[in-house]
């Protein structure tokens, strides 16, 4: 069976959930080979994790020569792996970094690229090449597409598939990538990891509670409901631009894209840029004082009311039910 | 810069599954305005601003010249519009090829400034592709930009960390909407723009084979486009004396979120 390369999304060796989603999708296309680019010492532990989701092989690319630079060296490493393994496809997480790696790789290997897929299937009527599904124009259209030239490179959004376990051999194969000097021209001079909030990561969370202009800068009710529901906290651009909450919380076209099981919007009107970042959420709930807010066009359930009273009361009731 | 259909209008697809660019008004992608703004600010902050030239470049159909004009009105020194019917339907791969060739033709470019994404395709890959094609460092998603001579430092919010990136010009940069509001063209700017040089290149001017661009040779193919069925109207209640919270929690419980 042909290999399918899956780039592992991880932070310091800690494998992130979207990786398991990619492996689950990869199994539809061929035999998943995971690619770990990071500290070599962390490779074995990562391999054990991804083997549980069907990775037969795990290429460990020690990043001693890659760390400290932006995406160009990673794209070079992937190029060399593609040349070695002639995969049926390359699946990459649809983060900003993932998309940049994919963009450079596409030019390097002369292959078509599809970004922000929300589903990947093998073309059953044809030759089994991947057919992707994307949600475009702020979710108003669903598009299916195919790569027609080269090795399909596909970036997949988090929460696009339910990770399914499947035993893979997880055989570690160390791969020494050659990184050119030219790929090392953009250096990471300083890096400050985002403070851990104790809450689930925004893009991976099953439940997201977000606040907008209507919070008036008070995010406690948003955080309270998020904690009661075990969800992540997000924000609209208006709240970020007002300086109430850091940019890393922003949901929307210029922030993060989320696609949780449940999205609760408080005091968010629902501008098109915000919709682009949350419209694929499975269930959408909004609380807003303005009964004409466009967000109400999207909701499964809406409350016309003040989030400052509705959220805390709802959080209390949720906590009561949980006992 | 990209000329895009207005995102607030009702955007659709054509028969050939490309974006309908006639039915909806086009404009300079909002996210590219930030790139123009930052380029202008770098010029203004330079030791001798008159030596710094800001050139607005777009690959777009005829009407797309409006995007270049907008940048000229904001203060760019000159404009380049690559227009050729063969380009229609090009994917990011071909677009980055045409842009790279245009940049090479302009020549002696220190900084290629891009928006973080277009407001239509939103792929966010053209800056990386340009860097790859031009063999230049890429510094993407900048929120704060500092330059000293040919040294560039930017601050950015990465996927998991806040980072400072350093690189030496020439380079390709993309900027986010965190860089600060883009200026509006003043009346003076609008009048001055009319006299600024605006060149139009065709593919043959750039030495690009028409067979390497356009819909028919795109490396990806759209199989199908489906308009989302209208969402069935959700239930909306009005909060009175705490009833809103109760109804909300009942709804969440019915969906097994609690």
What confidence tens digit (pLDDT) does each residue in A216-240 have? Answer: 999 999 999 999 999 999 999 999 9
**High-pLDDT (> 70) share of chain B, %:** 100
pLDDT of B61 > 80? The answer is: yes
Confidence of residue A194 (pLDDT cuts 50, 70, 90): confident
Q: Is A163 on the interface with B (CB under 8 A)?
A: no
Look at residue A56 in the predicted model and tell me its pLDDT: 98
What are the C-alpha distances in Å from B77 to residues A47, A98, B50, B54?
54, 35, 10, 5
CA pair distance B71, B197, nearest whole angstrom: 12
Mean pLDDT of B130-140: 97
Mean pLDDT, rounded, of chain A: 94
Look at residue B133 in the predicted model and tell me its pLDDT: 98
* Cβ pair B236:A299 closer than 8 A: yes
Q: What is the pLDDT of residues A103-115, one digit of tens each?
A: 999 999 999 999 9
Look at residue A273 in the predicted model and tell me its pLDDT: 86
Chain B residue with minimum CA distance to A112: B219
* A residues 22-41 lying closer than 8 A (beta carbon) to B: none
By CB neighbour count within 10 A (0-12 exposed, 13-18 middle, 19+ buried), where does B53 fall? middle
Contacts of B128 in chain A (CB under 8 A): 71, 99-101, 103-104
Angle at the Cα of A188 from the Cα atoms of A186 and A191, rounded to 5 degrees: 160
Look at residue B121 in the predicted model and tell me its pLDDT: 80
Report phi then psi at B61, rounded to 5: -65, 175
- Fold match between A3-184 and A207-322? yes
CA pair distance B146, A255, nearest whole angstrom: 22
Name the CATH architecture for the domain at A3-184: 3-Layer(aba) Sandwich (3.40)
CA pair distance B56, B153, nearest whole angstrom: 23
The SS3 of residue B145 is: strand
Provide the shortest C-alpha distance from residue B85 to chain A (in Å): 22
pLDDT of A139 > 80? The answer is: no
Residue in the structure block whose two tokens are 């974006």: B19
Virtual CA dihedral for A124, A125, A128, A134, nearest 10 degrees? -70
**High-pLDDT (> 90) share of chain B, %:** 81
Q: Is A100 on the interface with B (CB under 8 A)?
A: yes
Look at residue A137 in the predicted model and tell me its pLDDT: 80
* Cβ pair B165:A192 closer than 8 A: no
Q: Give the count of alpha carbons within 13 A of A224, CB side only.
A: 19
CA A29 to chain centre: 20
* Cβ pair B218:A148 closer than 8 A: yes
* Cβ pair A291:B164 closer than 8 A: no
* Cβ pair B228:A192 closer than 8 A: no
Look at residue A136 in the predicted model and tell me its pLDDT: 85
pLDDT of A185 > 90? The answer is: yes
CATH class of A207-322: alpha beta
Domain chopping of chain A, boundaries: 3-184, 207-322
Look at residue A30 in the predicted model and tell me its pLDDT: 96
Look at residue B12 in the predicted model and tell me its pLDDT: 83
Q: Is A107 on the interface with B (CB under 8 A)?
A: yes
**Residues composing chain B:** 258
Q: What's the complex ipTM?
A: 0.93
Look at residue B161 in the predicted model and tell me its pLDDT: 86
CA pair distance B160, A214, nearest whole angstrom: 27
Look at residue A21 in the predicted model and tell me its pLDDT: 97
Contacts of B126 in chain A (CB under 8 A): 103
Confidence of residue B19 (pLDDT cuts 50, 70, 90): confident
* Cβ pair A148:B219 closer than 8 A: yes
pLDDT of A323 > 90? The answer is: no
Q: What is the pLDDT of residues A235-280, one digit of tens each?
A: 999 999 999 999 889 999 888 889 899 999 999 999 988 988 998 8
């Amino acid at each position: 069976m042909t290999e399918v390369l899956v780039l592992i999304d991880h932070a310091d060796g800690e494998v992130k959930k979207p990786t398991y989603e990619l492996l689950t999708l990869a199994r539809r296309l061929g035999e998943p080979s995971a690619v770990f680019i990071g500290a070599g010492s962390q490779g074995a532990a990562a391999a054990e994790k991804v083997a549980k989701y069907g990775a037969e092989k795990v290429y460990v690319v020690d990043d001693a020569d890659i760390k400290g630079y932006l995406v160009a060296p990673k794209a070079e490493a992937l190029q060399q792996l593609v040349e070695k393994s002639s995969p049926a496809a390359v699946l990459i997480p649809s983060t900003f970094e993932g998309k940049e790696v994919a963009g450079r790789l596409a030019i390097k290997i002369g292959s078509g690229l599809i970004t922000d897929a929300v589903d990947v299937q093998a073309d059953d009527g044809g030759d089994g090449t991947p057919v992707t599904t994307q949600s475009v124009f702020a979710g108003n259209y669903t598009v299916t597409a195919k790569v027609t030239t080269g090795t399909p490179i596909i970036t997949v959004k988090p929460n696009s598939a339910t990770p399914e376990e499947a035993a893979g051999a997880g055989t570690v194969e160390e791969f020494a990538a050659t990184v050119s000097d030219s790929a090392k021209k953009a250096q990471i001079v300083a890096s400050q990891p985002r403070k851990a909030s104790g809450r689930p990561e925004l893009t991976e969370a099953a439940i997201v509670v977000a606040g907008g202009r209507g919070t008036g800068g008070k995010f406690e009710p948003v955080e309270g409901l998020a904690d009661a529901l075990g969800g992540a906290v997000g924000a609209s651009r208006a709240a970020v631009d007002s300086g109430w909450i850091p940019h890393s919380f922003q949901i929307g076209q210029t922030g993060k894209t989320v696609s949780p099981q449940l999205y609760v919007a408080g005091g968010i009107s629902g501008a098109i840029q915000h919709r682009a970042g949350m419209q694929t959420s499975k269930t959408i709930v909004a609380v807003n004082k303005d009964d004409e807010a466009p967000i109400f066009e999207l909701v499964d359930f809406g409350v016309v009311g003040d989030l400052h009273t509705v959220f805390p009361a709802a959080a209390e009731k949720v906590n009561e039910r949980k006992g | 810069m990209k000329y895009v259909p207005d995102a607030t209008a009702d955007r659709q697809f054509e028969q050939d599954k490309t974006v309908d660019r006639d039915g909806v008004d086009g404009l300079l992608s909002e996210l590219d305005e930030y790139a123009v703004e930052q380029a202008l600010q770098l010029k203004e902050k330079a030791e001798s601003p008159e030596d710094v030239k800001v050139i607005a470049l777009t690959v777009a159909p005829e009407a797309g010249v409006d995007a270049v004009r907008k940048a000229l009105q904001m203060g760019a020194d000159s404009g380049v519009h690559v227009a050729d019917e063969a380009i229609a339907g090009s994917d990011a791969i071909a677009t980055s090829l045409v842009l790279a060739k245009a940049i090479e033709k302009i020549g002696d470019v220190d900084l290629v400034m891009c928006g973080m994404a277009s407001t239509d395709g939103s792929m966010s890959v053209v800056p990386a592709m340009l860097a790859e094609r031009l063999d230049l460092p890429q510094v993407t998603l900048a929120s704060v930009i500092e330059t000293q001579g040919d040294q560039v430092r930017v601050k950015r919010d990465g996927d998991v960390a806040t980072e400072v990136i350093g690189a030496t010009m020439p380079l390709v940069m993309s900027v986010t909407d965190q860089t600060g509001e883009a200026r509006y063209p003043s009346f003076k700017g609008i009048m001055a723009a009319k006299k600024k040089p605006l060149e139009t290149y065709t593919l043959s001017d750039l030495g690009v084979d028409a067979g390497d661009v356009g819909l028919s040779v795109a490396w990806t193919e759209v199989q199908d486009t489906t308009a989302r069925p209208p969402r069935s109207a959700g239930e909306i209640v009005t909060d009175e004396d705490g009833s809103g919270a109760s109804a909300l929690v009942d709804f969440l419980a019915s969906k097994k979120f609690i």
